[in-house]
Amino acid sequence: MYVQKANLFLLVLWDCDSLEEWILFQKLRLTKGSTYYELLQHEIVGARISMYLFNITNAESFLAGDDSKIRLEEVGPFVFQEYRWYEDLEISEDGKQMAMTPKTRTEFISQRSIAHPKDVNLTLLNLPMLIVYPIHQGATNLLSEYPSFLQHVYNMMADQLHSKPIFNIDVHTYLWGYDNPLIKIVHNIAPGVVYFKKIGLLDRLYDTESDYRIVAGATDEDRFRIKYVKKTRRLEVDSTEDVDESELTFATDTYEGIGYPPMLTPDIPLNLYRIGICKSFQLEYIGRKPMEYGGEGLRYTLSNENFKSDVNSSKPYPEGLMDISNCFYGVPFMISKGHFLDADPKLLEGIEGLKPDRNINANEVVIDHMVSVPFQTNFSIQLNIALDDVSYNRHTKRLSNTVLPITHIKIDQPEMPETIMNKFYLAFKLGPKLELGTFVVLTLTSLMLISHAGRVIYYNWTKNTRGMDFEINVNKKLLETKTIEGNSLKVDPY
């Protein structure tokens, strides 16, 4: 019985290759009541977002035509900690799929920031003024047939509101949104296109007016692999009436970044999806990395394929840009690597102040290959606005046919909590020793049981097949006749 139990345990370990793998697989299975299932429903520490804004130091002289290049000064960081959790988590009856609604909140981290965003004023691009015309033009096919009329209306609105393409504003307002008359006007004209009444970089990224329902795989083979994302927009902030806005389907191996299928190998393609951006980022495998806790990590970076120029065949943009305008209703937002790293040098020709540096603007994520949990994340991306011919307005004509940086965003992953790291140390460093010790003990125990069983079998066999003879050596001297007190005595040995 003990031998059978020992062999069964060894069989389980053999199927998992190692004791540490068996322990972690049991902990990280995605089923109702599992560790992962409970963890997803509680608030967890997410990414750390560091925002750097590009302060324009020669706004007046550039717009007047005195300076040929726009000069930028990177100011930051302004750091925010993301906290994430998932609501309405459901696992299908067959256990193959799960559906969840991600929720996010942020906290400002003053210790890692240069100052509070409310206390810093910068000279920045006036995004509402620069994006209203592209949005308005795309609001309806009928209006787009009359560009001269739209340009005239746009100029009238801008002049009446004294709008300028570059203005002074505090960082907090720029990030989290502010009421803008131009946005309100377009919202009233085309509420189905522009459903927000204010605009801010982080405000639009987190898009609190919408809910996202993610359907992903739940088996060990496709855990967290996104099948599709459904976006639902609330008509009003407190309204219960929703509008189905879009459904994004992923045919490739795309993940949100919180986890991946176990036992990753370099040949498995990986793509990252970010809520608020309707495109995924392709990752490229670049090597392996030994981890401090004893495991091995797979290293990935952002592939340059993400930034190929397929934006517009009639007017292609330089290499190094990812078009995300479809994610923001035609607003010509583009993503690049930080400071246009690995991009077409043409993007730097009209700008002073950017310094592409691979060491500073690195992009790397390290994922444990066995349990497929990310342990290190560092991304450096840049949000830009690509302007076409805006010479119809005297204030914006100097910005025509340019790609201008708006913000440099660095994303990193805080260190794992000590309680979680202790489990990985236990599994990867103590696990092999425990595995070896268990193997030795079980082997010795098995040998002892086998030896004991052999002795018992041999004893029973000899007892049942032949008798037992006992030979007693009798000392010949005992047979001698001894005289005791004159009497003759013969000793019989039997």
Could you report the per-residue pLDDT of 2-18, keeping only the tens digit for each?
333 333 333 333 344 45
Q: Which two tokens stand for residue 68?
A: 């040929």
- CA-CA-CA-CA torsion for 463, 464, 469, 470, nearest 10 degrees? 20
Give the range of the structural domain holding residue 270, as residue numbers without chain letter.
Answer: 34-416
List the single range of 87-91, 152-156, 173-177 with lowest mean pLDDT: 152-156
Q: Which two tokens stand for residue 407?
A: 């913000």
pLDDT average, residue stretch 148-174: 73
Q: Of the ranges 1-15, 136-150, 352-366, which is most confident?
A: 352-366
Question: Per-residue pLDDT tens for 217-271?
Answer: 988 888 889 999 998 876 654 555 556 567 788 777 999 888 888 888 999 999 9
pLDDT tier, 206 (very low <50, low <70, confident <90, very high otherwise): confident
Contact 215, 97 (CB under 8 A): yes
Max Cα separation, the chain? 157
Residues 409 and 477 in one domain: no
Residue 366, Cβ neighbours under 10 Å: how many? 20
Q: Which of 394, 416, 438 is the last residue of a domain?
A: 416
Residues 388 and 465 in one domain: no
Q: Alpha-carbon distance 148 to 478, whole Å?
A: 141
Residues 233 and 156 in one domain: yes
Contact 314, 33 (CB under 8 A): no
Question: Per-residue pLDDT tens for 98-125?
Answer: 999 999 999 999 999 999 999 999 999 9
Q: Which of 351, 386, 416 is the last residue of a domain?
A: 416
Q: Which two tokens stand for residue 172?
A: 């907090």
Residues 247 and 347 in one domain: yes
Residues 240 and 298 in one domain: yes
Q: Alpha-carbon distance 373 to 329, whole Å?
A: 34
Structural Rg of the chain based on CA atoms: 37
Residues 224 and 105 in one domain: yes
**pLDDT value at 285 more than 70:** yes
Residues 398 and 385 in one domain: yes
Q: How many helices and strands, by DSSP H and E, does the chain display?
A: 12, 22
| Phi–psi pair at 207, nearest 5 degrees | 45, 65
Q: How many domains does the chain have?
A: 2
Residues 196 and 306 in one domain: yes
Q: Which of 366, 385, 416 is the last residue of a domain?
A: 416
pLDDT of the residue at 472: 52
Cα separation values, 123 from 24, 264, 307, 404, Å: 51, 46, 28, 14
Q: Of the ranges 20-34, 79-93, 137-151, 183-197, which is most confident?
A: 79-93
Residues 438 and 361 in one domain: no
Would the pTM count as exceeding 0.95?
no
Q: What is the mean pLDDT of the chain?
A: 77
Question: Per-residue pLDDT tens for 360-415?
Answer: 888 999 998 887 888 889 999 999 999 887 776 677 788 888 999 999 999 998 88
Residues 432 and 336 in one domain: no
Residues sharing a CB contact under 8 Å with residue 376, sequence separation 6 or more, in sequence order: 297, 364, 365, 366, 413
Q: Alpha-carbon distance 165 to 124, whole Å?
A: 9
Percent of the chain with pLDDT over 90: 34
Residues 97 and 18 in one domain: no
Residues 168 and 297 in one domain: yes
**pLDDT value at 36 more than 70:** yes
**pLDDT value at 281 more than 70:** yes
